[in-house]
């Protein structure tokens, strides 16, 4: 009797997919508790993650954490980060439009485009809409 290995295209993995990573990315930039945010960063991003926005480019989890902290420190306590439209997802790329401001009254809108590798975000590129569009 011969035994054959059956190969399927299904992957069994505990790694988050691009859709889940979009949610996790939003959690990081919404989390005001530094310890909870640090833990979320470790689950979400590659060690050498690149964060690119109109103001700067930074590399590494600590630099991303510092940038998230500055964004939250500069915003009033009632500001929230909310989804602002559909998600766009492929195996290695995901994008989500968002709005930031008091609930239902955004001060700024933008989109995050994530590059995903090995179940972690390796690049976050943030584009900001014009203030008139908020």
**29: in domain:** yes
**73: in domain:** yes
Q: What is the mean pLDDT of residues 100-120?
A: 95
**129: in domain:** yes
Q: What is the mean pLDDT of residues 98-105?
A: 94
Q: What is the mean pLDDT of residues 65-92?
A: 95
- Which of 69-73, 80-84, 130-134 bottoms out in mean pLDDT, i.e. has the lowest? 130-134
**Helix, strand and coil percent figures for the chain, each rounded to 5:** 30, 40, 30
The angle formed by the CA atoms of residues 134, 127 and 73, to the nearest 5 degrees, is: 70
pTM for the structure as a whole: 0.84
CA pair distance 110, 131, nearest whole angstrom = 10
**89: in domain:** yes
> What total of structural domains would you count in the chain?
1
**6: in domain:** no
Provide the residue range defining the domain that includes 126.
Answer: 18-133
Please enumerate in sequence order all residues whose Cβ is within 8 A of that of 27, keeping only pairs 6 or more positions apart, or say none.
Answer: 40, 44
**85: in domain:** yes
Mean pLDDT of the chain: 89
CATH number of the domain to which 120 belongs: 3.10.450.50
């Amino acid at each position: 009797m011969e035994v054959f290995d059956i190969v399927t295209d299904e992957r069994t993995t505990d790694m988050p997919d691009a859709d889940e990573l979009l949610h996790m990315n939003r959690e990081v930039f919404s989390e005001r508790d530094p310890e909870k945010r640090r833990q979320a960063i470790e689950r979400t991003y590659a060690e050498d993650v690149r964060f690119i926005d109109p103001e700067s480019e930074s590399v590494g989890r600590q630099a991303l954490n510092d940038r998230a902290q500055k964004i939250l420190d500069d915003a009033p306590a009632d500001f929230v980060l909310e989804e602002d439209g559909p998600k766009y997802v492929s195996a290695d790329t995901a994008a989500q439009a968002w709005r930031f401001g008091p609930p239902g009254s955004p001060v700024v809108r933008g989109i995050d485009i994530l590059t995903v590798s090995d179940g972690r975000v390796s690049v976050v590129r943030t584009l900001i809409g014009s203030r008139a569009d908020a």
